[in-house]
Structure 1
Amino acid sequence: MAKTVGIHVEMALGVVVRKQPGVTRWAKWNWTAVAVLPGASAAEWSVLRHEGGATEYHAATLPLTLWASDTDAYLANLSDHIPSIYVILRATDSGDIPMEVAVVTASPFEGQDYADTGEEIVEKVPMPDGLVAWVRDFAQAHHQEDPFVKRRRDMARIDQHEDGKGDARIRQDSDVYRAPRRVVQ
């Protein structure tokens, strides 16, 4: 059964990022993604709230794209205790705003791929209930179960030929595991 190719939907998703003082002398500020806003309008680091030393920004609005070929990942995400959106933050050289919201995804597999590099910050942000329903409806509508195909062995006899047994520098068949000796002349 072939996977559906090219079918996708998009939704604008605003990302709320919190800036708070760091707890060590090496990190002046701690940046974390704390919420997402489904259907948000365009924004670029608009201040939402300022309390104590922490400031929350509507940092960016990016498209959340769901692909029909990735429904396995979305269903794995929905089966988690708390379904989440993965927000990928990258450091920038800009002095005012040192973080860039690079990607938002509902795929835990894609989030893991970004986490493997260690270059970006990957934040797991809980999905609002309406977004959970939207992702679930899309995944259920486009999911195609891959049929199980049992692997069949070929009947080739590979044990009839001893390739690479012992040390190739030894010419005799009596002891193939013997170490070669240095010939004294």
Structure 2
Amino acid sequence: MAVEKSVSISLGIVIRKVPGVTRWVDHVWKAVAVLPGAGAADWKELRRDGDAIEYHAATVPLELFRTDTEAYLHGLSTKIPAIYVVMRESEGADPLDVVLATASPYEAQDYADTGEELVEKVPMPEGLVAWIRDYVEQYHEDEVFIKRRRDKSRVDREENGIGDARIRQTSDVYRAPSAKETVH
């Protein structure tokens, strides 16, 4: 019986556009919600409230991998579990490209460290929390800490790298020079 390395679910990304608060920024874009099991979308307007507009910007797969269960467990243990939406400026007609959605705070941190992508933290719906928790319970294995032990061989008996081996040392190389040896 083959065990799957990953599972996935489609996740719709809802992005809100609001007017900027300074004269240098016309609009601010922020990921505000996710829609588990959503169909395909391409910046479909969902609702408008004054100057604020919410779009179903894209649908991306949320993949869970068996090797990342520790990260998912860490994300689920926070006060408000979240999905991290990674976006970057678009080169096309759309304002932003949704790169991916992840439940791993470690992966989100890696994207945030590059500075090229915008990473938004979106609260996770209860059904998605339960789905990820079930996956973690099925595949998570605590890693046993094994303390590294040193070998018993003595390496401090040799003095490698002290002085030049080609030059004969008649005395201790650590001694202070005597007054006779100083050149004026």
TM-score bucket (shorter structure): 0.7 to 0.9
Check the 8 A contact 2:18/2:51 in 1, yes or no: yes
- Measured at CA, do residues 171 and 128 of structure 1 come closer, stay the same or move farther in structure 2, by a change above 3 Å? farther
Q: Which residue of 2 aligns with 1:132?
A: 129
Give yes or no for the alignment of 1:120 onto 2:120.
Answer: no
- Measured at CA, do residues 159 and 56 of structure 1 come closer, stay the same or move farther in structure 2, by a change above 3 Å? same
* TM-score, reference length from structure 1: 0.84
How big is the alpha-carbon RMSD for the aligned residues of Structure 1 and Structure 2? 2.6
Q: What is the rounded CA distance, in whole Å, between the counterparts of 2:57 and 2:34 in structure 1?
A: 10
Q: What is the rounded CA distance, in whole Å, between the counterparts of 2:87 and 2:168 in structure 1?
A: 62
Determine what percentage of the aligned residue pairs are the same residue. 57
Q: What is the rounded CA distance, in whole Å, between the counterparts of 1:66 and 1:6 in structure 2?
A: 10
Q: Which residue of 2 aligns with 1:160?
A: 157
Check the 8 A contact 1:88/1:120 in 2, yes or no: yes
Check the 8 A contact 1:165/1:176 in 2, yes or no: no
Q: What is the rounded CA distance, in whole Å, between the counterparts of 2:79 and 2:23 in structure 1?
A: 35
Q: Which residue of 2 aligns with 1:43?
A: 41
Q: CA deviation at 1:52?
A: 1.7
Q: Which is further off, 99-108 or 159-168?
A: 159-168
- Measured at CA, do residues 166 and 101 of structure 1 come closer, stay the same or move farther in structure 2, by a change above 3 Å? farther
- Measured at CA, do residues 176 and 23 of structure 1 come closer, stay the same or move farther in structure 2, by a change above 3 Å? farther
- Measured at CA, do residues 150 and 56 of structure 1 come closer, stay the same or move farther in structure 2, by a change above 3 Å? same
Superposed, 1:1-185 pairs within 5 Å as 6-94=4-92, 96-164=93-161, 173-175=172-174
Q: What is the rounded CA distance, in whole Å, between the counterparts of 2:155 and 2:128 in structure 1?
A: 54
Unpaired segments ≥5 residues, structure 1: none
Check the 8 A contact 1:85/1:127 in 2, yes or no: yes
In the TM superposition, structure 1's runs of 4+ consecutive aligned residues that sit over 3 Å from their partners are: 161-168, 170-178
Check the 8 A contact 2:163/2:173 in 1, yes or no: no
* TM-score, reference length from structure 2: 0.84
Unpaired segments ≥5 residues, structure 2: 178-182
- Measured at CA, do residues 171 and 48 of structure 1 come closer, stay the same or move farther in structure 2, by a change above 3 Å? farther
Alignment deviations for residues 9-43 of structure 1 (CA, whole Å, 9 cap, x no partner) = 11110000011112223322211100000011111
Alignment deviations for residues 28-87 of structure 1 (CA, whole Å, 9 cap, x no partner) = 221110000001111110001111221110000111111111110111011011100000
Q: CA deviation at 1:149?
A: 1.4
- Measured at CA, do residues 37 and 167 of structure 1 come closer, stay the same or move farther in structure 2, by a change above 3 Å? farther
